[in-house]
Structure 1
Amino acid sequence: MKDIATHLTSYAAYHRDRRNVATHLVGIPMIVLAIQILLSRPTLWESGSWMLTPATIVSALAALFYLRLDRPLGLLMTLLLALGLAASQNFAVLETSQWLSWGIGLFVVGWVFQFVGHYFEGRKPAFVDDIMGLAIGPLFVVAEVVFMLGAKRQLHDAIEANFTSDKS
């Protein structure tokens, strides 16, 4: 399995324009939440207020993947995925038309943000060349925010060392 720096460096190669990164900060969380909403039905098993749904399974697998790559970022991703699951349960109880409208609506709008960003970038999305880009995208967004806050400097510097000083 590739390490986190390799994954994020590969993904960052498609995301050098700050406008593209900014659209991803909005679009990717919308897409992740949309997927959690759309997978929040059916309930496979329930115990009290906890529900096992396809969203729970996919989110747990994603969390395990992120935790294997980097413990601190993986814990943050796990927390964010858990918050998304909690939110998705609120959508799951809506009438089917409302549930689908929210899920599909967020998904489409999130992808519009993505494609606008890649228009600015002048480059296709990372997942076109490597399907892993779909799994790394949410981690990239969280890592970018963490980097903006001044944390994980060593990881940030390892990623940026792969690119020229010419930044958009």
Structure 2
Amino acid sequence: MSKKVNTSEPKRPVDVLFDKYQESHNNQTNELIHWICVPLIVFSLLGLVWQIPFPHLDFMGKYNGFFNWASILIAFALYYYFTLSPVLFFLMIWVIGLFSFLIVKIELIVGLGSSTAYLIYASIFVVAWIGQFIGHKIEGKKPSFLDDVKFLLIGPIWLLHFICKKVGVKY
């Protein structure tokens, strides 16, 4: 009598998280809304946190303005992404870099910490979250982060993993 040996590899933690996240993201309309709203939420959250006054750090000299509360948020998020997938971590660096570039451009136009800056980011944030909840209403399932807050961080790399699959990059 021969026993069957299971030779399949166990799922990586990132794939387990994607599978769980996918459970409430199967409706095409909800997925489309996520492709629009998740990046807007990340952008607007970074923009909002960027506006919070940060203590002046004399030792940083002329680079003092390049470190802020958003830098700390970015560092923690990127570390988490790195633990899940170095490839998705690398892609998120580019996404966050683009968002940071746009935030700095907005800052140059309306001013850091101005009421206009807060209004821009808060408006985007609120509208994008309304979109997310509409998408989940259409889906008929609650958002994943209501069960586990870490799914707030999974959404952006969940979208990136589809891009990786489409172009044949192992994540």
Q: Specify the TM-score bucket, using the shorter chain as the normaliser.
A: 0.7 to 0.9
Corresponding residue of 2:79: 64
Q: 1:90 aligns with which of 105, 114, 129?
A: 105
What is the root-mean-square deviation in Å for CA atoms of aligned residues?
2.0
- Whether the 8 Å CA contact 1:15–1:21 is kept in 2: the answer is yes
> Counterpart of 2:37 in structure 1: which amino acid?
G
- 1: CA distance, partners of 2:31 / 2:167: 15
| Deviation by residue 1:85-143 (Cα, 9 ceiling, x = unmatched) | 22222333424121011110110111122112112211110011111111111111222
Contact kept, 8 Å, 1:55 with 1:85, in 2: the verdict is: no
Alignment partner of 2:66: what SS? strand
Q: Among residues 70, 74, 79, which one is paired with 1:55 in the alignment?
A: 70
- Is the CA contact 1:34–1:106 (under 8 Å) kept in the aligned structure 2? yes
Bigger drift between 46-55 and 11-20 goes to 46-55
Matches within 5 A, 1:115-126: 115-126=133-144
Deviation at 1:43, TM superposition (A): 4.2
- What does residue 124 of structure 2 align with? 106
SS state of the match for residue 89, structure 1? helix
Q: How many residues align?
A: 152
Q: Give the conservation status (yes or no) of the 8 Å contact 1:8–1:136.
A: yes
The question of 1:37 aligning with 2:51 is answered no
Identity of aligned residues (%): 27
Once residues 102 and 142 of structure 2 are traced to their aligned partners in structure 1, the CA distance between those partners, rounded to angstroms, is: 31
Residues 38-64 of structure 1: per-residue CA shift (max 9 Å, x gap):
011224446348610111110121111
Provide the residue aligned with 2:18 in structure 1: 8
Quick check: 1:118–1:124 contact (8 Å CA) kept in 2?
Answer: yes
Identify unmatched segments of 5+ residues in structure 2: 1-11
Other-structure match for 2:29: 19
Query: What is the TM-score when the length of structure 1 is the normalising length?
Result: 0.81
Q: Decide whether aligned partners of structure 1 residues 49 and 90 sit closer, same or farther in structure 2, where only a CA change above 3 A counts.
A: farther
